[in-house]
Structure 1
Amino acid sequence: MRIGLVVDSACDLPLEYLQQHDVTILPITVRIGEAVLADHRNEQATLEFLHAHVAERGAEAETMPFSVQQIHDLFLERLVIDYDYVFCMTITKSRSPIFDNAQQAGFAILNDYKSARAAAGNTTPFALRVIDTQNLFAAQGITAVEAIRLREAGEGAPKIRTRLEHLALHTHGYMIPRDLYYLRARARKKNDRSVSLLSAALGSALDIKPVLHAYRGETGPAAKIKGFEPAVEKLLQVTIGQVQAGLMTPTVCLSYGGELEEMRMLPGYQDLKRACADNNIELFESVMSLTGMVNVGKGALVVGFAAERVPSFD
């Protein structure tokens, strides 16, 4: 059985890795004023757009995920021909319509695929499963990497589906924003009341940084720490503890809203890199997606991993 994998462009994994493993990307388009860029996870294009537009006007941006029709057309033009079963792994449905769009497209695809496959000389059935990763950005990468591993190990679609849906329930995404005012302005643009003016003002005045935890489709504060770098160091220490205790998959994903060399100079980064190497954990690093940066601001750090228990910051 030929198994295909699809992610949306908010999934923070290196483009070279996705291309190497034939993972299809559903691009999310970002518009800031007259400037428009479809995010295909090209890091250089993302950084150029960041420096030109996001830092000053990112809070005003509009993000436009693939529509139901665009997803439908992509599958019928290529994926139903190239594969027999496709897993489409999306950003959490609580934060984006991509999951719902893919689900709706899936119903139509399963009604329309037969003629496309027949024209390509294939009369066997086609199946599609949309997986809500229940997480964001770097944490979405955990599910995608595991799907790649399982496919390469020759596992069948039922086992892959069960594993991915279970893994989504135990994936943890942590984010530390640099600019709470930006985060609040962006939240207001999207009618999201998760960052109040008072908390943004107090946090900025006192340099208190929240460590936000995304888990099972919900996002809330896991800790509040004075200073961006001390907050990063604490988060990476917690991540090291999880690595040493044992993760559900041998994977940690990092993404950063800027140049990766800046991220590698943050306190705790080298310790995490050594801990991953010592414990045979693969460490993925990528520039945050354009979608991520316009939503959480320049310079934010995201860490993703899968663990049975919710980590403690005490």
Structure 2
Amino acid sequence: MQKIALIADSACDLPQEILQNYNIKLLPLRIIYKDTEFLDKINVTPEEIYKRLDTEIPTTSLPSMECIEDTLVSLEQDGFTHVIVITISSGLSGTFNSVRLMAENHPKLQSYIFDSKILGIAEGVIVLETAKLIAKGKTYEEIITIIPKIQETVSIHYTLETLEYLKRGGRIGRVAGSIAEMLNIKPIIGVSDEGVYYTHAKARGRKQSLNKLKEILNENLKNHKCNVWIIEGGAMEDAKKFLDSVKDFENIENLDLSTISPALGVHTGPGLIGLGIQRLS
């Protein structure tokens, strides 16, 4: 009889309650300062990260090899026969490759390591839908054929209050970032099919950038009923206002808020507003 475990990394942005309810094992990304290190979502909050950004921008790293190994060993000891691991895009983190290599050392566990090619709550949707399939008693073989189809239904876009932290973290060129800041240009950033960031659109100022997000939402709602998450990083009041402005859009099945993890917030700084969308059949 199959006993299937599910593992995700902390970039999936699922609430702790959901992780516990579905027994989803979490691999925390790491946030590294010169004199200390934190485990994403375990012993640090986004607010604590934002407060420290003016004095030091930390680096982020994939879950430790020890954490990955301990999790897999624990699953073997608990009698699991199969494990499904869903990770942040391999184009944005080395997590996928590290887990894949570590899983090869555990032949007793039949493993499926899935590169979500996305992050945030969009990755979380894939994790949650997989958890529901396990809970329904679907077989491992059935589930691993469905996961890529779930991935095709999700997307994520966001805009930032400032590009300063992307510049300082080396995520965009300093010259391009400085020019955009001078002109008050706010890019709408998405994740491509290859799992890397790209500029979906550009807007002049905060108000226009939020209007661009609404356009993206409307494009999705034209042809699909959708579950929608308003994503925020250090911008809860703006997120609530944005949610209120779209709550009556036709074809929204469910609407909720999602806060990005501390590790993701390192690269964006406070002021992020975004959209996580799951297109329903």
Specify if TM > 0.5.
Answer: yes
**SS, match of residue 101 in structure 1:** helix
Q: CA deviation at 1:245?
A: 1.9
**SS, match of residue 168 in structure 2:** helix
Among 90, 96, 99, the residue aligned to 1:102: 99
Residue-by-residue CA offset, 1:75-107 (whole Å, 9 max, x unaligned): 112366253322111000111110011000110
| Kept after mapping to 2: 8 A contact 1:92/1:132 | yes
Q: Structure 2 counterpart of 1:10, which letter? A: A
Distance 1:56 1:135 in 2: 30
Normalised to the residue count of structure 1, the TM-score between the two structures is 0.79
| Structure 1: runs of 5+ lacking an equivalent | 114-125, 309-314
1:93 aligned to 2:115? no
Q: Structure 2 counterpart of 1:40, which letter? A: K
Normalised to the residue count of structure 2, the TM-score between the two structures is 0.88
1:230 aligned to 2:208? yes
Give the CA RMSD over aligned residues: 2.5
- Structure 1 residues 153 and 78: alpha-carbon distance in aligned structure 2, compared to 1, 3 A threshold: closer
- Structure 1 residues 7 and 54: alpha-carbon distance in aligned structure 2, compared to 1, 3 A threshold: farther
1:211 aligned to 2:188? yes
Distance 1:170 1:88 in 2: 19
1:199 aligned to 2:172? no
Residue-by-residue CA offset, 1:124-153 (whole Å, 9 max, x unaligned): xx3211110001223212211221232233
Q: Structure 2 counterpart of 1:183, which letter? A: L
Q: CA deviation at 1:307?
A: 4.9
| Kept after mapping to 1: 8 A contact 2:12/2:120 | yes
Distance 1:184 1:51 in 2: 16
| Kept after mapping to 2: 8 A contact 1:147/1:160 | yes
| Kept after mapping to 2: 8 A contact 1:257/1:293 | yes
Q: Structure 1 counterpart of 2:184, which letter? A: D
Distance 2:15 2:54 in 1: 22
Q: CA deviation at 1:196?
A: 2.4
- Structure 1 residues 265 and 34: alpha-carbon distance in aligned structure 2, compared to 1, 3 A threshold: farther
Distance 1:223 1:51 in 2: 26
Q: CA deviation at 1:21?
A: 1.9
Distance 1:36 1:262 in 2: 30
| Kept after mapping to 2: 8 A contact 1:67/1:101 | no
* Structure number having the greater helix percentage: 1
| Structure 2: runs of 5+ lacking an equivalent | none
Q: CA deviation at 1:252?
A: 2.7
**Residue matched to 1:119:** none
Distance 1:82 1:54 in 2: 43
Among 263, 267, 272, the residue aligned to 1:300: 272
| Kept after mapping to 2: 8 A contact 1:14/1:285 | no
Give the alignment of 1:77-226 within 5 angstroms.
77-78=74-75, 81-110=78-107, 113=108, 126-187=109-170, 192=171, 195-216=172-193, 217-226=195-204
Q: CA deviation at 1:281?
A: 2.6
| Kept after mapping to 2: 8 A contact 1:12/1:255 | no
